[in-house]
């Protein structure tokens, strides 16, 4: 069953670059909107996490504690805490306002590729190179995992959470769903290394980016392969993919610097544009508006919007002012 598809024309899709955020000293490995789209978090090769207010064009804070590159970051729905992970094999739990590390969760035997909070911001789940998913209790003073899932046969690259399930995507070619209520595991084999998974907005489907330059859409209930999206290049790097906020289109980065949009149902490429000079590592779609952010190993974060009519970033104060950190493109 396809996710609930709301009306969104191709003309509404982002395609016009409106600004560039500069500040990271090296490749940016992930850039994420927070839950209401008011802030951006980014992380990268320079071992830092950066918080931005795009509406005012302000770089708010830099978080430094990781000993190696930071590969993923996620913030709670109330914006008070964030979690991060990376090459130093640890999961960090931060206070957003003070920049203080509340806790360091140690236990992974290799680099950590992805992190997510649960709905209640009480648990962090991490995906590791050591072929495991690990769950950590943010309310406890213990730094030991409360759950270890180690049935994968290769590195776990990405994780998604529902109220009752943990879903992991792995280089072993599987997307595995663990129902924590009854202790059941369901494994869907895609036959190709999975380096990114994301969930549709209605929760019915999982999108999986694979290293054969194909993004695949799976029915969460049955595991049925609903569609395949091709045209981009993804053979060597961990690249993000996601659905737009109406579930009408699929979007993802490409190793040639392009961002692609596909029609959800017929999988045709409806739009593409060059976003960066190098690999597009991350894409994040605004939860409400027709705009997105992208990041790249070229060290920049870029904001894009559509170029038609009044429905664009400028209407909700995305017209950023010149500062030493930002450039504005119109």
Query: Would you list the domain boundaries of the chain?
Result: 27-150, 172-307
245 and 13 Cβ atoms separated by less than 8 Å: no
Same fold, 27-150 and 172-307: yes
Quick one: how far is CA 149 from the chain centroid?
21
d(CA 169, CA 239): 13
> What CATH topology corresponds to 27-150?
Methylamine Dehydrogenase; Chain H (2.130.10)
pLDDT in tens, the chain (330 residues): 666 555 567 888 988 887 788 889 999 999 999 999 999 999 999 999 999 987 677 799 999 999 999 999 999 999 999 999 999 999 999 999 999 999 999 999 999 999 999 999 999 999 999 999 999 999 998 889 999 999 999 999 999 999 999 999 999 999 999 998 888 999 999 999 999 999 999 999 999 999 999 999 999 999 999 999 999 999 999 999 999 999 999 999 999 999 999 999 999 999 999 999 999 999 999 999 888 999 998 877 888 777 433 333 322 222 222 222 222 222
Does the 172-307 domain belong in CATH 3.10.180.10?
Answer: no
Token code pair at residue 191: 């036959």
Nearest to 186 by CA among 206, 202, 200, 203: 206
């Amino acid at each position: 069953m396809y996710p609930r598809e709301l009306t969104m024309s191709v003309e509404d899709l982002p395609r016009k670059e409106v600004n560039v955020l500069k500040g990271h000293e090296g490749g940016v490995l992930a850039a994420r909107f927070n839950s209401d789209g008011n802030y951006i978090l980014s992380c990268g090769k320079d071992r830092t996490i950066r918080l931005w207010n795009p509406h005012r064009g302000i770089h708010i804070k830099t978080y430094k504690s990781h000993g190696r590159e930071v590969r993923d970051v996620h913030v709670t729905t109330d914006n008070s805490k964030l979690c991060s992970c990376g090459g130093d094999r640890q999961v960090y739990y931060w206070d957003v306002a003070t920049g203080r590390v509340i806790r360091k969760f140690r236990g992974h035997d290799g680099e950590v590729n992805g992190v997510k909070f649960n709905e209640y911001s009480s648990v962090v789940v991490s995906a590791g190179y050591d072929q495991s998913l690990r769950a950590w209790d943010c309310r406890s003073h213990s730094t030991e995992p409360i759950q270890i899932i180690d049935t994968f046969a290769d590195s776990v690259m990405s994780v998604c959470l529902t109220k009752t399930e943990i879903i992991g995507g792995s280089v072993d070619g599987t997307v595995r769903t663990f129902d924590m209520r009854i202790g059941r595991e369901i494994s869907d084999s895609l036959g190709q290394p999975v380096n990114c998974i994301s969930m549709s907005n209605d929760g019915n489907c999982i999108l999986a980016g694979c290293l054969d330059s194909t993004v695949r859409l799976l029915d969460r209930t049955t595991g049925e392969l609903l569609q395949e999206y091709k045209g981009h290049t993804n053979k060597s790097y961990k690249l993000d993919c996601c659905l737009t906020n109406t579930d009408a289109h699929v979007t993802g980065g490409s190793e040639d610097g392009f961002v692609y949009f596909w029609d959800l149902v017929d999988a045709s490429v409806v739009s593409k544009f060059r976003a960066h000079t190098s690999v597009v590592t991350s894409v994040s779609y605004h939860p409400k508006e027709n705009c997105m952010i992208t990041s790249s190993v070229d060290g920049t974060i870029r904001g894009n919007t559509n170029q038609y009519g009044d429905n664009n970033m400028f209407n909700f104060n995305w017209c950023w002012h010149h500062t030493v950190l930002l450039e504005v493109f119109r």
